[in-house]
Amino acid sequence: MSILVDNDTRVVVQGITGGEGKFHTGQMIDYGTNVVAGAVPGRGGQEVEGVPVYDSVNEAAREEDANASVIFVPPMFATDAIFEAIDSPVDLVVAITEGVPQQDMAKIYRKLGETDTTLIGPNCPGLITPGEAKLGILPGNIFSEGNVGFVSRSGTLTYQVIDNLTSRGIGQTSAVGIGGDPIIGTGFIDVLELFENDPDTDAIVMCGEIGGEDEEEAAAFIGEYMDTPVAGFIAGRSAPPGKRMGHAGAIVSGSGTGTAESKIQALNDAGVPVGDTPNEVADYIEDFL
């Protein structure tokens, strides 16, 4: 099985006529993703990569029976694009765009609470079920089919750890990049619960980083509710307090939480081994399987 995306996912790409949207639409199609429509206001009637373009997500979903959206639009338009997707019939929205204002994401997060829509991101690489479909910018060639679930805040770290797993013959059920912003649609606990309920996922990798308390909260969830073994990695161990490191959410306030040490301790207390290197994470997964 898989989580969130599979062969039946029918995708509409918001921003398909832009450079990034067009390029990654081609990449997704080449991977086998069922991209059925694009949505760009004022561009209805065009075609991109053989995909029909509509003026709105609602129209695209209605005409092409789309059930997922991927957003490739500039930050100044991303908030409206996310709201449009949430208000449409699609069940899954993946926002790749970086730079969505936090105050806008607070409004979006409240809106999500009134719907059944799942939002991945923003500022994320997307998600993939190897051999079936990918939504976003993930390099499909490094993933392989298997029985390990993967969730990460960092895109680059995702690629490194996945490459280590795949090179050892350890494939993945699905992999989800949730994004590194302070406010995102789907967090660690949401994805961990999906993997826990997936009968084909026998082990999970969770890659976090300094800043916020998401990893500590995920550790508490793992310790109380999960039977599937989890291995972890925390990036940013050498980052000085108060300095942002790459992601907007990767900043330690000095409050005693959000540090690499506090996250590692919380995970260890929940029975989650945390690798010092991405390669060590693969060692733990090998021991689980």
Write out the catalytic residue numbers. 247
Measured CA distances, 130 to 7, 13, 69, 117, 138 (Å): 10, 20, 19, 23, 11
Give the residue among 96, 135, 91, 95 at the shortest CA–CA distance from 117. Answer: 91
Q: Which residues contact 99 (CB under 8 A, 6 or more apart)?
A: 75, 78, 123
Q: Tokens representing 265?
A: 């301790």
Give the residue among 43, 48, 52, 59 at the shortest CA–CA distance from 21. Answer: 48
SS3 112: helix
Q: In this structure, what DSSP letter does residue 141 have?
A: G
Three-state SS annotation for 32-96: CCEEEEEECCCCCCCEECCEEEECCHHHHHHHHCCCEEEECCCHHHHHHHHHHHHCCCCCEEEEC
Please provide the DSSP assignment of 231-269 as one string. Answer: EEEEE-TTPPTT---SSTT----SSSSSSHHHHHHHHHH
Q: In this structure, what DSSP letter does residue 140 have?
A: G
Q: In this structure, what DSSP letter does residue 35 have?
A: E
